Structure formats: C-alpha cells, structure tokens
Amino acid sequence: MSLTIENIMLIGSLLLFISIIAGKTSYRFGVPTLVLFLAIGMLAGSDGIGGIYFDNPSVAQFIGVVSLNFILFSGGLDTNWSSIKPVLWEGISLSTLGVLLTAVTMGTFVWAITDFTIYEGLLLGAIVSSTDAAAVFSILRGKNLALRNNLRPTLELESGSNDPMAYVLTIAFLAMVINPDQSLVSIIPLFLKQMIIGGIAGLLFGMASKYVINKIKLGFEGLYPVLVISLMFITFSGTDALGGNGFLAVYLCAVYLGNQDLIHKKTILKMFDGLAWLMQIVLFLTLGLLVYPTEILPILGIGLLISLFQIFVARPLSVFLSLTPFKMKMRRRFYISWVGLRGAVPIVFATYPLIAGIEKASMIFNIVFFISLSSVLIQGTTLSVIAKWLNVSLPEDSKPKSPLDDLLSETAKAIMVEIKMPANGVAVNKKIVDLNFPKTALIAMINRDNKFITPSGATEVLAEDTLVVLSDTQDGINEVYECLQVEKP
C-alpha cells in the first residue's frame, strides 16, 4: 500500500490510536513504549502486515528533526535549574568528552571486526555516540524512577545536551568518508563553532522569547503555546543559519524559559508535554516504517556483537573516563553507564549517510537501528532492577515530584491570607508575572470591587485589590509580604 493524500490521514490516525492504546498497557509487561511504537511502524510497513511502502530518508529526516525540536524543548522546559546546577560540569563532560570517547571506541571496534574503513567505522560510532533524549525522558519519567544523589538530573542533562556533539561528529566523519583526504583536525573548528554559537544563541533567544511572551498581548490563552512553538523554530533555524547547533540552542532556550516566570506557563507546559508525546510516537512510527526487517536479518550477528560492545565496553569506558575528575561513587558511575539508551536520535542521524549515498549507507542504517532497538530492550527494561541492585533508587514513598508535577498540582496549600493593595503599593499597575513572586506561593484569586477574578500571569494588580494568597509554609507567606512590600498584620 502506498501513502497518498486520500489515505494518509486515516492510516496515520489509526497508527496513532493503536500506538497510544499499546503504550497504555506496555509497562504491564515491562516493555518500553518506544519499542512498541517502532514495532507498530515495522508491522505497518512493506515487510509487515500493513504493506505500507515508505522509502524516503529525506522525509524521515525532516520528521525526525521537527520531532526532536519538540522533545528537546519539552525536556528543557521541565528541567529545574536548581537541580542541574550541582551536576552541570558532570553533565557537560558526559555530553562532550563522553560522546567523543564513545564514537572513537565504537568506530575503532567496528573497523577492527568488519570490512569498514576507519572513517566508515568512526561514522557509525559517531551516529550511536549520544544517549537519546526521547528514550531517557520517556522511560525515566514513565517509570517514575526516583534516584539518589542528583542521578536523574545528571542523566536528563546529558541526554538533552549530547545530541549536538554527536551531530557534529556525524557530519564531520561523513565528510571524511566522502573525502578521505580531509584531515581529522578539521573537526575542531567545526565543533567549536557549532557549540559556542549554539550555546550563546540559545541563551539569547531564550531571553528574547521571555520578553516576547510576557509583553505581547494576544487576547486568547490558547495562542500562547502556539507563540512558543514559533519561537522554538525561530531559535533552531536562526541558530542554524548563524552556523551554530540548533539542537543545543533549542534545549538551552527551553531550560532558560522553564525557570522563568511566564504568562500562562501552566498552559504552555501542558501543551508541550502532550506535543512531546505526539512527536515521540510520530517519530518512532516513521522510523519503523522506514526499516525493512528482511534487511536487518543478515546483519543480526554483527549487529548484536557491536551492540553488546557498545553496552558493556564503549559506554562504561567513556563514562568512567569522562567522570574521572569528579568525586562520584562507583555504583553511580555504573548506573550512569547503564542508562546509555540509544533510540530515535541515532536512527535519524543514520539517514544522513543514506541521503549522501555513500557505499555502506544501508548497512550502517540497519546496524544503527538494531543497536537502538537492542539498547532500549536490554537497558530500558532493566533500569528499575539495576537501580535497586546498585542501591541508587529511593523508596516509593520518598519519590520527589518533578517541576511539572509541582506546577500542575491542584493540591490545596496549607496557609491562606488576604492582602489588600495600598494605593501607592509597589505591585500596583504591574503584571503578576513581573512581581518576582515566591515559588512557594501563588495568587489564587483577586477580590476587585467585591467580585472575585481568577488571575493569570498577564493580570495587572490594581490599587485596592485584595489578593488571596496560598502557600504551603509560613515562610512562603512572609516572603510574599516582603515581595509586595506590604506591612504584615
């Protein structure tokens, strides 16, 4: 069956529905949802029962890039700066040096056991060198794993920020396969340019985005997530046009915005959480359709050998070496090395050799697909077991909430006060989003002229307003009085 304008909506919606239903029940059997999404795509493909013919790496790559934007942006919005700050340098080391060491180790091994040239081996190593943000975010959050000693922020920071390094290495080694006379030293300027411009652009676009979101008056709450989507793509494409890495810029922009006071932030977070899940499903279904299982069978032996080497040698070696400067218990290092999940990102990067038309592109793609699939199956299904075995998980009753859970929680606060705004108060005629209100408190309602209104970040505080403030601690209430510069009764 070929995809046409007439049937693509029906087929797409049916596959999406089946994926959601399958994902709902998958964890009863300990199977990550991402594997099911891939499996459904493969079953629907030309080698499966669906018979859908799809063989367009360019379209798959485009869908992959768009989907990764949403996945990385959503992950960034849900990243609490206070939680990643203590592990910032560990995360940076893992996402740069760790990726480089993985690529070189894997590439050398592939070159040694196959007929690949050294550059072709390094290209395959670069493609599978980064942990997958979609896999890590969905599996850690889907299993609701609570880990000790900042392990989870470290893992999420690494997975969210290491794709740029893998992308640079993939492009560089692909260029060397095409032009073997090119020097390895040429990677260094490309890497520095991509990382420096990407990092600076991400923060600058984040600051500009905050200003636009809080200052523009759209009139409809539902338009704000749409505005943020446009800003996300402007960040990616603008950074790419400047020569920087768009994936890094998107992630840093989202981390910055996620830790700022934004108008309709709750709506934005809810929307992006749903869109991230949608994009994960679409991405894995698309990649599943692109794969031909009959072409994977001949490379099962070599694929399994390379996959096991990546899981048990290359990943642990790169983690241990990149974390050498930091004080960290061995069991933490072991667990970080085990959560080296490969998923959709390597498969998306594997489309670049296909589009370039190099000699071993098809074999590289199939091996990469097998590595990603086996990684999610072997490592993804055992994260909880290994965490308990290494004693790095927290008891069930002590699991902390994520920032998203805290923000979306409807649980009532313990303390409520009413604060009347004097005519000359510092908060008068200011938007709530501009008040720098304490994180531990919220304005539930405003009594204005004996009428109660539900405020949003764009609501302006007027003289004689009575703010109904909720907080879970007395210290939070005290901070509110200090913020509003109102005398405490």
Do 392 and 469 fall into the same domain?
A: no
- For residue 224, how many other CB atoms are within 10 A of its CB? 22
Q: 156 with 258, same domain?
A: yes
Residue 445 is part of a domain; what is its CATH number? 3.30.70.1450
Return the HEC string of 350-363. CHHHHHHCCCCHHH
Please report, for the domain that includes residue 276, its CATH number: 1.20.1530.20
Please name the helix (run of DSSP H) or strand (run of DSSP E) that holds residue 33, with its range, or none: helix 33-44
| Segments forming the whole domain that contains residue 475 | 411-484
- For the chain, the residue count is 489
Do 284 and 158 share a structural domain? yes
Residue 261 lies inside a defined structural domain of this protein: yes
Residues 169 and 248 in one domain: yes
Residues paired with residue 393 on neighbouring β-strands, in sequence order: 147
Q: Which residues contact 478 (CB under 8 A, 6 or more apart)?
A: 488
Residues 221 and 350 in one domain: yes
pTM confidence score: 0.79
Residue 390 and residue 281 share a domain: yes
What tokens appear for 102 in the block? 């993985």
Tokens 């000699």 belong to 359
Q: What's residue 227's pLDDT?
A: 96
**What pLDDT is stored for residue 410 in this prediction?**
41
Domain tally, the chain: 2
The C-alpha atoms of residue 67 and residue 247 are separated, in whole angstroms, by 11
**Torsion angle, alpha carbons of 43, 48, 51, 54, to 10:** 70
Of 358, 374, 398, at which residue does a domain stop? Answer: 398
Are 40 and 166 members of one domain? yes
My answer on whether 382 and 461 are in the same domain is no
Q: Report the candidate in 245, 220, 214, 250 with the shortest Cα–Cα distance to residue 234.
A: 250
State which of 398, 422, 445 marks the end of a domain: 398
Q: Indicate whether 372 and 456 sit together in one domain.
A: no
Domain assignment present for 362:
yes
In terms of Cβ atoms closer than 10 Å to its own Cβ (0-12, 13-18, 19+), residue 280 is buried
Which pair of tokens denotes residue 373? Answer: 């699939």
The residues, any chain, with a CB within 8 Å of residue 226's CB and separated by 6 or more, are none
Distance CA 385, CA 454 (A): 45
Residue 355 CA to residue 49 CA, distance in Å, equals: 27
Residue 425 vs residues 231, 421, 430, 438, 463: alpha-carbon distances, Å? 34, 6, 10, 17, 7
Are 166 and 226 members of one domain? yes
Does 253 lie in the same domain as 329? yes
pLDDT at 2: 57
Nearest to 352 by CA among 182, 112, 165, 172: 172
What is the mean pLDDT for each group of 10 consecutive residues in the chain (489 residues)? 65 77 57 72 79 85 92 88 88 93 96 95 95 72 67 84 88 91 79 91 96 88 93 97 93 93 88 88 86 87 94 95 92 91 87 93 93 87 86 63 44 71 87 82 86 83 88 82 84
Same domain, 283 and 321: yes
3-class SS of residue 31? coil
